């Protein structure tokens, strides 16, 4: 097999190597659970620098086909890339809720005492008891979850989660409908993070692997926060896409 650079190919060398590795994995040449050749072996095989090989492996990892661990090598974890859910944002509403074609599963709803961080975010006393709701969301019921979400609401609003998982509406909308609360402000924070160890198994993802954390805080008409949600999205499965036009 010719693994040397094709001068007529306009793709960067690392892209060429990445595409070749992707094709080998898809064809079954490297079965799931197998180790790819080491960086040194790939350098010799392709006549490329270590930097080029690392960039190629990074692309294969981002495609969701391999897992790389320092000192342990690169192992094949899938033959086809996981489906990525892309949400187009045409208004602020796109940042507040997921499209109706996604599937929500309720995992648990239990009373918890707020830690110092969440209590400060909500402007309440540390140790105050709220309802914590855990959910998983999928693009389809048969696909890997696109996020795991923790929602915190006051115990007085616990009935808002009664239909969660069967009704399409988000928790904050149910709080508005059932209790006459009116949202005045929503704060949205997007942060790069690692998949928490406590959610890794639920998300079918490696603990510490790249993820996007979206935190939303909902304030009512009286200037009080009545809900906070924290959603962890494994990096290869979810994308926000927006088009901004210059005025």
pLDDT in tens, 60-75: 887 778 888 877 889 9
Residue 170 has a pLDDT of 77
Residue 166 has a pLDDT of 60
Residue 92 has a pLDDT of 47
Mind listing the domains of the chain with CATH numbers? 13-76 (1.10.10.10), 85-242 (3.40.1410.10)
User: Which position has the token pair 């040194």?
Assistant: 40
CB count in 10 Å sphere of residue 211? 25
For the chain, give the longest Cα–Cα distance.
Answer: 70
Residue 125 has a pLDDT of 93
What does the alpha-carbon distance between residue 4 and residue 78 come to, in Å, rounded to a whole number? 26
Residue 247 has a pLDDT of 56
Residue 119 has a pLDDT of 93
At 39, phi and psi to the nearest 5?
A: -60, -40
Residue 126 has a pLDDT of 94
Q: Which ranges of the chain have pLDDT less than 70?
A: 1-9, 81-101, 140-142, 165-169, 240-247
Residue 1 has a pLDDT of 46
């Amino acid at each position: 097999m010719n693994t040397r650079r094709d001068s007529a190919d306009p793709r960067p060398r690392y892209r060429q190597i990445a595409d070749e590795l992707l094709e080998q994995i898809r064809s079954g040449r490297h079965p799931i659970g197998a180790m790819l050749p080491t960086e040194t072996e790939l350098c010799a095989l392709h006549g490329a620098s270590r930097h080029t090989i690392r960039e190629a492996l990074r692309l294969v990892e981002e495609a969701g086909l391999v897992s790389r661990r320092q000192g342990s090598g690169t192992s094949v974890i899938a033959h086809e890339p996981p489906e990525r859910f892309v949400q187009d944002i045409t208004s602020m509403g796109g940042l507040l809720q997921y499209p109706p074609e996604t599937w929500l599963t309720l995992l648990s709803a239990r009373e918890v005492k707020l830690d110092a961080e969440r209590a400060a975010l909500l402007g309440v006393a540390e140790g105050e008891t709220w309802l914590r709701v855990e959910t998983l969301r999928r693009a389809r019921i048969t696909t890997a979850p696109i996020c795991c979400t923790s929602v915190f609401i006051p115990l007085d609003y616990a009935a808002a989660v009664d239909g969660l998982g069967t009704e399409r509406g988000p928790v904050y909308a149910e709080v508005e409908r059932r209790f006459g609360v009116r949202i005045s402000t929503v704060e949205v924070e997007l942060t790069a993070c690692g998949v928490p160890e406590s959610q890794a198994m639920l998300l079918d993802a490696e603990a510490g692997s790249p993820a996007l954390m979206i935190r939303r805080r909902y304030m009512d008409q009286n200037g009080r926060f009545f809900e906070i949600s924290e959603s962890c999205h494994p990096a290869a499965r979810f994308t926000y896409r927006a088009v901004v036009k210059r005025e």
